[in-house]
Structure 1
Amino acid sequence: MKLLIHYELINTIAESSELTKKESTKVVDSEMETIKTGMKNGEKVKILGFSAFSVSERVSRKGRNPQTSEEIEIAASKAPFKAGKNLKDAIKV
């Protein structure tokens, strides 16, 4: 598994395009900031063919501790990502 760290993503974009690393940094940082700002404002941000970024609320629910089988309360949370169909299809085995 290859984990792309911020600078690796920038280097990969610079190598695969005609952009400099400085220009690639601006593109990556701008895209990330746009996604974060949109989600913070309750908007859905779509990158067609890849993903939709939005905040969905998960209600609290009951679960089980797998080690003790004790019933526990799982706190409500927020989920920030939903993979798009093309991304899901691309990673199917």
Structure 2
Amino acid sequence: MLSVRLDKDTEDRLQSVCGRLGLTKSEAVKQSLEQWLRGFEPAPDAFDLGEDLFDQGAAAEPPTDPLRRQIWERLHEKYRPG
């Protein structure tokens, strides 16, 4: 259990906003604290976010169209490891 003491002005402002939003002060503080704490969590890994979008199968087959095949071969030669 946590107790927090607020100055009169801050508590009045909190009460006013909570009245407009239909929230209790506890709900508003919990939501605010949750949002604040999320700011300190590490960002998710880009690979983990898009893992289902990445090709995880075999290497791509060369295109059958002659022009595309020529481009594919040039790129393959340029970027082939080793």
Which structure's residues are more often strand, by fraction? 1
TM-score by length of 1: 0.29
CA radius of gyration, larger in? 2
Q: Identify which of structures 1 and 2 has the higher relative contact order when contacts are C-alpha pairs closer than 8 Å and 6+ apart.
A: 1
